[in-house]
Structure 1
Amino acid sequence: MSDIIVTNHLVKKFGNTTILRDINLHVPANGVYCLLGPNGAGKTTLMKILTGMISKTSGQILFEGKNWTRKDLKKIGSLIENAPLYGNLTAEENMKVISQLRNADNKNNDNILKTVGLSNTSNKLAKHFSLGMKERLGIGLALVGNPKLLILDEPTNGLDPFGIQELRNLIAQLKTKNITILISSHMLSEVEHLADTIAIIGNGKVLLEEKYDHKTNLEQVFNSVLQKNGVLND
């Protein structure tokens, strides 16, 4: 399986502070890649670099085997931090606005809304959506333009158990559509359900990157790797 995203010795500094010091990732195409790490490990910073929100300090990013350029953003959808929703618009109207902003065909919008479970929201305004519905609409907006790579930063944050289950089902469904999904998460129990590949980040580096067999106790692996590398105290 080829890698859709590869980073080589990626570095990000803010002033004199180094957030990412030597990030080497290999994200296989058409799977779910879960990025794990403690608070402050740099997961969101890395995702912002991959989506063009901020620039790297040094290092290399390859997308589909070639040097990443901003043109590749047409093939990358993302939901980082808060979904860019217009509260006074319906789900369908939000989709149309984003399609226009991205100069994307909106013929597939109905299918996207069906995929994320929002095809029957009718005239309900986004500001009246539950947190789970807003998250799913945010993912729907990220799917405008049929991206090959979907990047989700902590998508289960703040969701109740029902919302988490809905999101898990959605991600499993997207995986069948040949979309590569890169997720960061603190919820190891959810990663155990979703991940094909895991990476653990600490001290600004990738400490572990491997396929996940869904049998290994992820919490034990996570704590062991962080302790071994001095990120957690014994």
Structure 2
Amino acid sequence: MTRGCFITLEGGEGVGKSTQLRLLATVLELRGLDVIVTREPGGSPGAEDIRNLILSGDKDRWDMKTEAMLFAAARADHLRATVRPALERGAWVLCDRFIDSNRAYQGAAGELGDAFILALHELGSDGFMPERTLVLDLPDDVIGIRAEERDQGQEIDRIGGRTLNYHRRVAQAFREFSAQDPARVRLIDAGGEREDVTARLLGAISDLL
């Protein structure tokens, strides 16, 4: 049996990851692929419980280091219970956020450093990485507007509610990851019509199909 393919979608607040994940999954399913859509933190019963711990409560509930360790624990369970079994049976797994979010949010913007985040990932998940990471990118000013529109009338979680400057550092970190590792990490223009963005995502994984 052919092993499946692990694709992650990344990006800052308000870039449209959840929408594009669903659209991309639909396109791949129409091509006859078995597609699993999942998310982080979460994606397995144990990891969903940890997700609630991470995202709920006061903004000072966890310090940055504890937050990063909770993410690492959630990921270890997610990979064990959901991702690896799906890949082994030949499914394509599309994941809303993965290790690069922790590198950007806790490592870069949170100032823990990339080495610390990757060491946790090695310890908890054996350094497991996706075949391709697609980073949805928008100009910083557009990200702020999109995030405000998305969150209007909704309760904002601990991380989404951080300062605009914090989220700008997150977006810049993602851009740097794509420059450092262009074979795995592809920067995708998230502007324009939804269908156009989906076409760009599909083009960025065409060599894997």
TM-score by length of 2: 0.40
Structure with the bigger percentage of strand: 1
Structure with the bigger percentage of helix: 2
Which entry has the higher C-alpha Rg, 1 or 2?
A: 1
